[in-house]
């Protein structure tokens, strides 16, 4: 089924002290789809990711994975239930080799054992084109490779939903093209939905089926990339009221 919903957020709210980081945000993600999440700095994008992965507990609202409520489940169980993620500041296990990094995802994220874990890890490495660097220690890899490695590690846990937290940050144009190809390949080869936070708006518009825009913790728009690009609220959020008048 093409339109099978895998992730649903219902009226999520989260405050830090007096600041409402997320205000009544709802979102839906279907299998084989990519939803982009954009917004100015401090709009609540990363907070939303941390709510979905249970690093934060929402003040209100619920998170559903394939129809089952997963709000408040501990982060490691969230991963085992099928939500993989990458981090804005890459968090690879630096003293391990690329293969060891990815096999962690297979062993712990999906409780695979022995040959199955090896197979899953190698498949994930091949998907991101890092199979030839499997024995390189992570601290010796470029930023671009480490970002790809994080994607592979998330994929090795056989996720239903993958959250990408600014995978393009710090990459040069060539590396961005490569990352785009790999995100697209991941969508085509795996049965999963991708939720993608990104600052590089052109990259998001290039690949996403839907784009949601957050501003001050409120979802101000969600539509196809073309419509979002012409939405007055979105232009206002990014460029200010003056830009809309013109």
Partner 1 sequence: MSKQPFLSGKKGVLGVILLIIFLSALPIVLEAEESYFIYFLYISFIYITVAQGWNLVAGYAGQVSLGQHAFFGIGAYVTAMSWDAGLTGYLDPVAMFSSGAIAALLAVIIGLPLLGKLRDDYFALGTLGFAEILRVVFIQGKDITGGPIGIMLPSGRYAGMTPYYYISLGIAVLTLVCIWFLIRSRFGLGFVAIREDEQAAEANGIPLLRSKILAFSIGAFFTGLCGSLTAYYSFHIHPGGVFTLTWGLLPLLMTILGGIGTFWGPVIGAVLLAGVFELANMWMPELHTLISGLFIVLVTMFMPNGVVSLVKGGDGPPFLYRIGPFRSLFGQSNTGRVSDGAYENGAENTIQR
* Residues of the shown chain interacting with partner 1 in the complex, contacts defined by CB under 8 A: 50, 53, 55-56, 74-77, 79-80, 84-85, 87-97, 100, 103-105, 107-111, 133, 135-143, 145-146, 153-154, 157, 170
- The residue with tokens 């490569």 is 178
3-state SS assignment for residue 239: helix
* Closest separation in Å from C-beta 17 to partner 1: 11
Cβ proximity to partner 1, 55 vs 216, nearer residue: 55
What's the closest the beta carbon of residue 150 comes to partner 1, in angstroms? Answer: 8
Pairing between strand 210-215 and 34-38? parallel
Rounded least distance, CB 79 to partner 1, Å: 4
User: How many CB atoms within 10 Å of residue 216?
Assistant: 16
Give the residue with the Cβ less far from partner 1, 56 or 196: 56
Say which residues have a Cβ less than 8 Å from residue 104's Cβ, sequence separation at least 6. 93, 96, 153, 156
Shortest distance, position 179 Cβ to partner 1, whole Å: 16
- Complex with partner 1: residue 39 or 101, whichever CB lies closer: 101
Q: Which is nearer to partner 1, 155 or 228 (CB)?
A: 155
In the complex with partner 1, the residue whose CB is nearer, 83 or 207, is 83
Q: How far is the CB of 169 from partner 1 (least distance, A)?
A: 9
Cβ neighbors of 154 (< 8 A, separation 6 or more) are 84, 85, 86, 105, 109, 162
Signed CA dihedral, 116, 120, 126, 127: sign only: positive
Which residue lies nearer to partner 1 by CB, 166 or 215?
Answer: 166
CA neighbor of 70 nearest in space, from 58, 110, 16 = 58
Q: Closest distance between partner 1 and the C-beta of residue 2, in Å?
A: 29
Per-position DSSP letters for 107-125, written without gaps between them? IIIS---HHHHHHHHHHHH
Whole-Å CA distances, 94 to 40, 99, 101: 31, 12, 9
């Amino acid at each position: 089924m093409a339109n099978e919903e895998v992730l649903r957020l219902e009226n999520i709210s989260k405050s830090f002290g007096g600041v409402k980081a997320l205000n009544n945000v709802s979102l839906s993600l279907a299998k084989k789809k990519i939803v982009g999440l954009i917004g100015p700095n401090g709009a609540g994008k990363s907070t939303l990711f941390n709510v979905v992965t249970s690093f934060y507990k929402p003040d209100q609202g619920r998170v559903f994975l394939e129809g089952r409520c997963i709000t408040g489940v501990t982060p490691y169980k969230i991963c085992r239930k099928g939500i993989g993620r990458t981090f804005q500041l890459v968090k690879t296990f630096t003293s391990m080799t690329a293969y060891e990094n990815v096999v962690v995802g297979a062993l712990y994220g999906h409780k695979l054992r022995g040959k199955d874990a090896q197979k899953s890890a190698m498949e994930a490495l091949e998907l991101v084109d890092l199979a030839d660097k499997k024995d390189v220690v992570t601290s010796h890899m470029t930023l671009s490779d480490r970002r790809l490695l994080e994607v592979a590690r998330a994929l090795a846990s056989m996720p239903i939903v993958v959250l990408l937290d600014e995978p393009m940050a710090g990459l040069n144009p060539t590396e961005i093209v490569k990352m785009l190809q790999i995100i697209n390949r991941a969508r085509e080869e795996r049965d999963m939905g991708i939720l993608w936070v990104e600052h590089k708006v052109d990259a998001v518009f290039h690949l996403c089926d839907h784009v949601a825009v957050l501003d001050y913790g409120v979802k101000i728009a969600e539509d196809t990339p073309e419509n979002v690009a012409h939405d007055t609220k979105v232009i206002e959020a990014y460029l200010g009221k003056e830009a809309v008048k013109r």
